[in-house]
């Protein structure tokens, strides 16, 4: 089935926050943010002018000037202490956007500037650490080093990444009779509701948050959308008028946090052809406040052994406070950083040993039964199957490479493989719950509400399909409603690749309740054989149309509406012992990328990509392919193109799309995707979560290029990121300057 939104999207009819019809008298809010990364705010003032309704500062906040979903350590508006460039100090409330921007230009700010920290290891040395350090141990690395025949140590600089959702942070807040209704471009309607409740000092039931869809989220709207929704609602509280706040691209790039950059220090050792021990220290650049950094770091810890059999492993993780915008969730959520660190270590080790890296990788993959350092036993790991299934394709790629490289001196091809094992569930156990509300109207049509937010990933299509298959109905009879906090409450963010599992299963639970009531009405004694089939109920041998049965149920006062609920069974985690079963299951797969580098110029093209991916029982292969291709593009962009740069004053230098390059269609390799198709009872209709895992296939692109460079010149690289033509060229011809 096609994505139900596709026709709306291509015809321009999909509604985003900025498309909502504005109520007359709507005011416009824009943030005034700090131009310095650290210091003290002394004063702030705006010229009087008729279009300025109010300059909102911390003093105007009726509740607590505190936000933060995990740790409340962030002021919505700076009172005195400035922590990063882009931090909001005040909000201009004006009659329109133009006026708001004009007023902002003339704002007078007085401050005292202090020296900023922009390097996580400098923060670490100054003891600027958020939360408790994490330590995961398996076996005993210390006593194993002496058994190794080769040990390598090094450090990896792992880059951050801008989300670049097409729709910038957006909210529209309307005062209602007894509270507020907020349209927000958020992955987490309940977080928006919670934060506003705190800022305004009013209970949650006075706040209604509604989300139709997002123009992309990628994690950037899991936590940080709340900030902007709070600002708009604060404006509505002060003015008693509807208030709109839509960031322009420049403000959005500057104010919002990114994927966390990490520095990783590693040591890895092997004996013969087996990895014996791996030790890593992660210095996470959290930015200035906690945001989701500790949860992101936790996922890095869970994935520090990636897809590899590490008999002795040790990881230490520090979340380091710097004076950059608070870094936040981003597709993969700390997983990519940890996996890239280990992949660099393995690549380095294999190359020093003179091994074929792909062979070495394959010989060290995990299987079912492997115990992860946090105690969960691997199950449903299909890596070996993926290797076997891709054998011929891989030989074809190798053949193409060999032929090309033997006849070209200054252009070289390189091939690399990357295996993905990604744990599915929120690592924060309590978030693994969801609700749904299913209505069957008396004409037989169905309305479904869940906590799931549609952000382009196709969750509405999957839920629609689930209901369609459950009741054997055509898709026209089913409508997926907006996500609204008065219909489905206490929603977890649409995140962690788990949205359709959790919300789909809650929907099924509601459907089952209604079906059972209908069946009981049709057959009170339970003696008949009842089935559903193509818009009909089959009762013994009698066929009654769906609509007739529904009307009959209504006339006989049968409740045709149900609230459904789902919470993932069997997951648990003990933080003190760093041990448990945090994930419902794992999504696995492997990717090969073939790249071609023009040695003399440093330019390259990604030629081909072959992916074997386990999506469980396929629920919708088009959506899955969309997620895999999109994830791959984003992962390739992360390590190859996207050069996120801050100055040592904490100022974003790559602050526009002329200085921050993202992949386009021409950048992408020709991609073939094969599925494995295992069964997975913990996924929706036997499927497996697919949102985040494919992001990490992009790592194969990075090593494909390095391997092409090595085909020209045998050398040890310093693993530059991103692997731009400049960096390739310098690595080859001026390595000492890298």
Q: Which residues bind ligand LUZ (CB under 6 A)?
A: 292, 295, 299, 329, 333, 426-428, 431, 495-496
One of 111, 262, 330, 604 touching ligand MOS (CB under 6 A): 330
If one asks whether residue 495 binds ligand MOS (CB under 6 A), the answer comes out as yes
Nearer to ligand MOS, 330 or 702 (CB): 330
One of 39, 189, 219, 616 touching ligand MOS (CB under 6 A): 219
DSSP-derived secondary structure letter, 510: H
CB of 27 to ligand LUZ, least distance (A): 33
Q: Are strands 670-675 and 561-567 parallel, antiparallel or unpaired?
A: unpaired
If one asks whether residue 91 binds ligand MOS (CB under 6 A), the answer comes out as no
If one asks whether residue 333 binds ligand MOS (CB under 6 A), the answer comes out as yes
Residues 496-525 that bind ligand MOS (CB under 6 A): 496
Judged by CB under 6 A, which stretch of 327-335, 336-344, 616-624, 666-674 contacts ligand MOS? 327-335
Of the candidates 731, 737, 699, the one whose C-alpha atom is nearest the C-alpha of residue 712 is 731
Q: For this structure, is 97 an active site residue?
A: no
Q: DSSP labels for 184-207?
A: E--S-HHHHHHHHHHHHT--GGGE
Bridge partners for 109 per DSSP = 44
Q: How far, in Å, CA of 212 to CA of 4, rounded?
A: 13
Judged by CB under 6 A, which stretch of 109-117, 328-336, 696-704, 728-736 contacts ligand MOS? 328-336
330 is in the binding site of which of ligand MOS, ligand LUZ, none (Cβ under 5 to 8 A by kind)?
ligand MOS
Nearer to ligand MOS, 329 or 440 (CB): 329
Bridge partners for 446 per DSSP = 440, 478
If one asks whether residue 278 binds ligand MOS (CB under 6 A), the answer comes out as no
Nearer to ligand MOS, 118 or 194 (CB): 194
576-587 burial: b if 16+ Cβ within 10 Å, else e: eebbebbbbbbb
Q: How far, in Å, CA of 259 to CA of 326, rounded?
A: 10
Q: DSSP labels for 52-95?
A: EEEEE-GGG-SS-S-B-SSS--B-SS-SSEE-STT-EEEEEEES
Q: How far, in Å, CA of 492 to CA of 254, rounded?
A: 27
Which x/- pattern over 166-195 shows residues binding ligand MOS (rule: CB under 6 A)? ---------------------x--------
Q: Which two tokens stand for residue 670?
A: 């020709």
Judged by CB under 6 A, which stretch of 323-331, 365-373, 379-387, 465-473 contacts ligand MOS? 323-331
If one asks whether residue 222 binds ligand MOS (CB under 6 A), the answer comes out as yes
CB of 331 to ligand LUZ, least distance (A): 8
Q: Which two tokens stand for residue 605?
A: 């093209």
Bridge partners for 211 per DSSP = 483
294-305 burial: b if 16+ Cβ within 10 Å, else e: bbbbbbbbbbbb
Crossing angle, helix 335-353 and helix 621-640, to 10 degrees?
70
Nearer to ligand MOS, 243 or 496 (CB): 496
CB of 214 to ligand LUZ, least distance (A): 15
From 279, 512, 692, 726, the catalytic residue: 692
Which x/- pattern over 663-702 shows residues binding ligand MOS (rule: CB under 6 A)? -----------------------------x----------
Sign of CA dihedral 709, 714, 715, 717: positive
Judged by CB under 6 A, which stretch of 128-136, 324-332, 525-533, 656-664 contacts ligand MOS? 324-332
Nearer to ligand MOS, 495 or 571 (CB): 495
CB of 290 to ligand LUZ, least distance (A): 12
For 11, 535, 561, 583, the CA distances from 517, given in Å and listed in that order, are 41, 18, 10, 34
Q: Where are the beta strands (DSSP E) in 190-273?
A: 207-211, 243-246, 262-271
**Which sequence positions are flagged as catalytic?**
692
Binding residues (CB under 6 A) for ligand MOS: these are 187, 219, 222, 329-331, 333, 495-496, 692
């Amino acid at each position: 089935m096609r994505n139900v939104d596709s026709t709306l999207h291509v015809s321009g009819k999909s509604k985003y926050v900025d498309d909502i019809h504005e109520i007359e008298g709507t005011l416009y809010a824009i943030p005034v943010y700090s131009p310095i990364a650290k210091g003290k705010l002394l004063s702030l003032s705006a010229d009087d002018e008729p279009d300025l309704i109010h300059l909102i500062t911390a003093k105007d906040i009726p509740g607590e000037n505190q936000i933060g979903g995990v740790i409340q350590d962030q002021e919505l508006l700076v009172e005195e202490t400035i922590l990063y460039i882009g931090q909001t100090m005040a909000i201009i409330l004006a009659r329109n956007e133009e006026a708001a921007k004009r007023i902002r230009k003339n704002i007078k700010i007085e401050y005292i500037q202090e020296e900023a920290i922009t390097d996580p290891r400098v923060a670490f040395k100054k003891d600027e650490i958020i939360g408790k350090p994490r330590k995961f141990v398996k076996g005993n690395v210390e006593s194993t080093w002496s058994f190794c025949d080769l040990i390598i140590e090094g450090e990896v600089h792992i880059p951050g990444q801008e989300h670049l959702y097409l729709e910038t942070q957006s909210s529209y807040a309307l005062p209602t009779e007894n509270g507020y209704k907020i349209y927000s471009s958020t992955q987490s309607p309940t977080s928006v509701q919670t934060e506003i409740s705190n800022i305004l000092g009013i209970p949650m039931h006075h706040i209604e948050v509604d989300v139709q869809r997002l123009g992309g989220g990628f994690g950037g709207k899991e936590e940080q959308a709340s900030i902007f929704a709070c600002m708009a609602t604060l404006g509505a509280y002060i003015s008693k008028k509807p208030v709109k706040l839509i960031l322009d691209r420049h403000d959005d790039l500057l104010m919002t946090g990114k994927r966390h950059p990490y520095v990783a220090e590693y040591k890895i050792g092997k004996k013969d052809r087996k990895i014996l021990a791996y030790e890593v220290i992660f210095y996470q650049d959290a930015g200035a406040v906690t945001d989701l950094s500790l949860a992101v770091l936790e996922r890095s810890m869970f994935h520090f052994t990636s897809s590899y059999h590490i008999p002795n492993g040790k990881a230490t993780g520090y979340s380091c406070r710097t004076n950059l915008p608070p870094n936040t969730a981003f597709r993969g959520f700390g997983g990519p950083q940890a996996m890239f660190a280990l992949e660099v270590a393995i690549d380095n080790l294999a190359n020093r040993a003179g091994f074929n890296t792909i062979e070495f990788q394959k010989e060290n993959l995990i299987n079912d039964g492997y115990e992860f350092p946090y105690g969960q036993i691997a199950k449903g790991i299909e890596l070996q199957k993926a290797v076997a299934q891709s054998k011929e394709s891989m030989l074809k790629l190798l053949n193409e490479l060999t032929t090309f490289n033997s006849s070209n001196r200054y252009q070289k091809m390189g091939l690399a493989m990357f295996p993905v094992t990604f744990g599915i569930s929120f690592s924060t156990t309590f978030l693994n719950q969801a609700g749904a509300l299913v209505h069957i109207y008396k004409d037989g049509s169905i309305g479904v509400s869940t906590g799931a937010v549609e952000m382009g990933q196709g969750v509405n299509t999957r839920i629609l399909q689930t209901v369609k298959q459950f009741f054997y109905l055509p898709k026209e009879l089913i409508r997926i409603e907006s996500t609204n906090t008065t219909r489905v409450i206490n929603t977890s963010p649409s995140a962690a690749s788990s949205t359709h599992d959790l919300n789909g299963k809650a929907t099924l639970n509601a459907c089952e309740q209604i079906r059972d009531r209908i069946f009981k009405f049709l057959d009170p004694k339970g003696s008949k054989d009842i089935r559903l089939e193509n818009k009909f109920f089959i009762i013994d041998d009698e066929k009654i149309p769906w609509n007739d049965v529904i009307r009959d149920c209504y006339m006989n006062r049968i409740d045709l509406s149900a609230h459904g609920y789902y919470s993932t069974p069997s997951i648990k985690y003990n933080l003190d012992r760093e041990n448990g079963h945090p994930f419902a299951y794992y999504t696995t797969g492997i990717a090969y990328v073939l790249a071609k580098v023009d040695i003399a110029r440093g330019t390259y093209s990604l030629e081909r990509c072959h992916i074997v991916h386990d999506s469980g029982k396929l629920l919708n292969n088009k959506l899955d392919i969309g997620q895999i291709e999109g994830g791959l593009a984003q992962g390739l962009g992360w390590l190859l193109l996207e050069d996120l740069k801050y100055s040592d004053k904490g100022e974003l230098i790559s602050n526009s799309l002329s200085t921050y390059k993202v992949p386009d269609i021409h950048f992408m390799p020709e991609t073939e995707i094969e599925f494995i198709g295992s069964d997975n009872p913990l996924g929706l209709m036997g499927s497996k979560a697919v949102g985040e895992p494919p992001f990490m296939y992009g790592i194969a692109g990075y090593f494909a290029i390095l391997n092409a460079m090595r085909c020209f010149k045998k050398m040890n690289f310093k693993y530059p990121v991103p692997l731009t033509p400049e960096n390739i060229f310098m690595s080859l011809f001026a390595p000492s300057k890298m």
